[in-house]
Amino acid sequence: MAVKSDTIVEAKEQRYDFFFYGTLCVPAVLTRVLGHKCDDLTFQDALLPNYTRHCVKGESYPAIIDREKTNILTSRGDVLTSEEVNVRGTLVKGLTYKDINLLDIYEGIEYLRDKLPVQALSPPTAISSLAQAISDPTSRAKAEYLKQVQDSIEGKEKEGGVDVGMTEAWTYIWAEDLDKLEPRIWSFEDYMKAKESSWRDLPDDYFTDVERQQAIKEEPGSTGDERSSSAVGTDDLTTDGEECKLLGRTAEGFPDFGRGMRKYWGFADDYVNLNHGSYGSPPKIVIDKMRKLSDQIESNPDRFMRRTWLPILNKVREQVSEMIGARTEEVVVVPNATHGLNTVLMNLNWDEGDIIVIYSSTYGAVGQMVKCLCDKNPQIRLEIIDDVFPCSHKEIIEQSEKVLSKYNQLAQPNYTGLSKPTGVNANERIRAVVVDVIASNPGVIYPWEDIVRLCKKYGAMSVVDAAHAIGQVEVDVKKSDCDFWVSNCHKWLHSHRGSAVLYVPIRNQYLIRSTFPTSAGYESTRYPTKGIDRPWQFVEQFQWTGTTDWAPFFSVNDAIDFRKSMGGEKRIMQYCHTLAVQGGKRLRKKWGTEVMDTPKGELTAAMVNVRLPHVPDPKDLEDQFKQLRYFEDKCFEGNTFVAAFRHGGKWWARFSAQVWNDLNDFDHAAEVVEKICIGIK
């Protein structure tokens, strides 16, 4: 949903007036969209002058356009009647900025919100005492309408001392191509008759997006115990790893999880893979289908690259968008998460005094990219929040808010959803926060949804590095309402490397003016392409960024199908999570060390971090690299691999649990790794 006028930022007490001319004319529909009883709103019969109502082709809902567009769309030579050239509907007063956010989502990208003069035809009435003509718009009589218009013309704009004359109100006008509209003009009476049978029986998918948004119950930055979490379960860390606590291992009609699943992968017979999190491991069926697709491409490269590829790409976007709760037009593919984050941050226009916040556990390449950005833009700087795990989500949230409140004032309510930070001091403010869903090393869950809410609280943009998210934890980007989100598909979703998805909500797409590298889909405002009337489109510019091997990207479809054949996302996530938790406990017992988690178990998804035994502190950074090199070489010799890293002055190892693993794999790795640690010592 586009916004024609300037961004509106008002205090929370500010209320807004809207003119509705479609399904939202019915109070019963409006209450469902807004998610409350509308007791503090008023309703009036009203008229929008100099606009016409048309049916959207193939749909049951209408759109309105101004007289200039009407002349283009219609070929009528006669003069339009007053009923046709004035759109009749309902004027609703008293909406909050939260209400308008939901209305924007409900109306979608086909409409543009604008503030226009509206003629009120009846006095404002509360929902508890609505007249029949307001509660049931289909009952509004034409004769009554004509009389009201005549009264307005004659200046009878007062009824019982209440102004029923001209006012200004927001409304949603058509923003798409005119050829998507029927040329015939719908009068209010015709439209109501056409819709009368379905007013009270709208399909549930009319409300899907707004009801997902309504699921957000908390205020920005809430740190209560009831906040949402990405974790898929918790367990008592004082117990030892037990087989009986592995959930989802068996499911009727599907293969058992554990070592028997190795037949679906191409691992060497004696290789124990406990490092799926680094590069991913596509199953054989995904690789085979990808190779067949490669053969198809090579059989006629021109046909595939010029015709065949786009429907397959769109299917990838459709399936992934459904998984993460986004709209298809908000999701594009990129080679990997680092590439996607570069695309976002390199596109933003940075002002003097802007600050970018990252965390000390931010992925190395992402942290270096932010430093590069600051080097190229000396007017901005970097702020790093130091987080040493294990620490609770509450502590991370408190640290984050401490930094945000140091530089930024509380943001004014902004129903367009656009972030606008205001500094405590005029010369600097936090513009963006880069936060992980699940960090790489350590492999811990972040309270990223709470950090996103904090960003909204202080007007900063939330840039979410979800490299490890999709396929490992459930995600709903609409519920979190983040500004940008990018995830690899080749890690936990089992597609071939590299393939990733970038989510940019419609409200922020105007900020991402170019792909990385710039594609042929880019359109310059200063130097438009001659002879082509092609507006800039967010999705289209990501469709072709240069010749590439599409096969890894398109393997996402096959990976999703494979996961469904294994029992689906919930089963896979449940097993991998409980295996990680129980495997971590087993290692802690064998080594006499500790698991990196809190008593609530809020840090572990399908990667568990366990402190290594026996390893002495390195003398310096060179010695640390030497120890790490030795550790990796001996893992290769032991036909296994786990990711070792240094954090908080200690050596840790990250174990990735997958459907082909069981607790025996943790036992095997425990023996190999302990020998390595003794060798280092």
Domains and CATH numbers, the chain: 15-208 (3.10.490.10), 259-273+568-679 (3.90.1150.170), 329-523+535-550 (3.40.640.10)
Helices (H), 432-485: 448-457, 477-480
Distance in angstroms (rounded) separating the CA atoms of residues 278 and 468: 9
Per-residue burial over 301-315, b if 16 or more Cβ lie within 10 Å, else e, is eeebeeeebeebbee
3-class DSSP state of 80: coil
Residue 244 has what DSSP assignment? G
3-class DSSP state of 2: strand
CA-nearest of 142, 177, 171, 650 to 389 is 650
Supply 623's token pair.
């010695």
Confidence tier at 238 by pLDDT (50, 70, 90): low
Q: Is the predicted pLDDT of residue 521 greater than 90, yes or no? A: no
Q: Which residue has better confidence, 208 or 634? A: 634
Q: pTM to 2 decimals?
A: 0.69
Count of alpha carbons within 13 Å of 230, Cβ hemisphere only?
A: 30
Distance in angstroms (rounded) separating the CA atoms of residues 499 and 312: 14
Average pLDDT value for residue range 124-139: 79
Average pLDDT value for residue range 98-106: 81
Find out whether 152 and 120 touch, Cβ atoms under 8 Å. no
Find out whether 433 and 345 touch, Cβ atoms under 8 Å. no
Confidence tier at 519 by pLDDT (50, 70, 90): confident
The pLDDT value given to residue 162: 46
Q: Strand 2-3 vs strand 162-163: parallel, antiparallel, or unpaired?
A: unpaired
Distance in angstroms (rounded) separating the CA atoms of residues 209 and 481: 12
Q: What is the 3-state secondary structure (H, E, C) of 600-635?
A: CCCCCCCEEEEECCCCCCCCCHHHHHHHHHHHHHHH
CA-nearest of 199, 192, 100, 209 to 138 is 192
Element (H, E) at 76: none
The pLDDT value given to residue 68: 86
The pLDDT value given to residue 206: 64
Find out whether 430 and 381 touch, Cβ atoms under 8 Å. no
Measure the CA angle with vertex 198, ends 84 and 179; round to 5°. 45
Element (H, E) at 248: none
Within 10 A of 185 (CB to CB), how many other CB atoms are there?
20
The pLDDT value given to residue 227: 35
Name the average pLDDT for the chain. Answer: 84
Distance in angstroms (rounded) separating the CA atoms of residues 560 and 316: 9
User: Looking at this protein, which amino acid is placed at residue 224?
Assistant: G
Q: Is the predicted pLDDT of residue 99 greater than 90, yes or no? A: no
Confidence tier at 239 by pLDDT (50, 70, 90): low
Q: In this predicted structure, which of 226-235, 240-249, 620-629 has the lowest mean pLDDT?
A: 226-235
First to last CA, the chain: 61
Average pLDDT value for residue range 355-360: 96
Confidence tier at 144 by pLDDT (50, 70, 90): low
DSSP for 532-566, written as a single string = ------HHHHTT-SSS--HHHHHHHHHHHHHHHHT
Within 10 A of 56 (CB to CB), how many other CB atoms are there?
16
Average pLDDT value for residue range 294-314: 89
The pLDDT value given to residue 446: 95
Q: Is the predicted pLDDT of residue 161 greater than 80, yes or no? A: no
Residue 371 forms beta bridges with which residues? none
Q: Is the predicted pLDDT of residue 372 greater than 90, yes or no? A: yes
- Please identify which residue in the block is written with the tokens 């802007």: 354
Within 10 A of 125 (CB to CB), how many other CB atoms are there?
17
Q: Which residue has better confidence, 486 or 539? A: 486
Edge-to-edge strand list for the sheet holding 331-334: 331-334, 500-503, 484-488, 461-465, 429-436, 354-359, 381-385
Q: Is the predicted pLDDT of residue 416 greater than 70, yes or no? A: no
Q: In this predicted structure, which of 465-479, 486-500, 516-530 has the lowest mean pLDDT?
A: 516-530
Dihedral Cα 534, 540, 541, 547, nearest 10 deg? -120
Distance in angstroms (rounded) separating the CA atoms of residues 465 and 322: 19
Q: Is the predicted pLDDT of residue 481 greater than 60, yes or no? A: yes
Say whether the peptide bond before residue 498 is cis (omega within 30 degrees of 0): yes
The beta strand positions in 329-449, using DSSP E, are 331-334, 354-359, 381-385, 429-436
Q: Is the predicted pLDDT of residue 219 greater than 50, yes or no? A: no
Q: Is the predicted pLDDT of residue 38 greater than 80, yes or no? A: yes
Q: Is the predicted pLDDT of residue 488 greater than 90, yes or no? A: yes
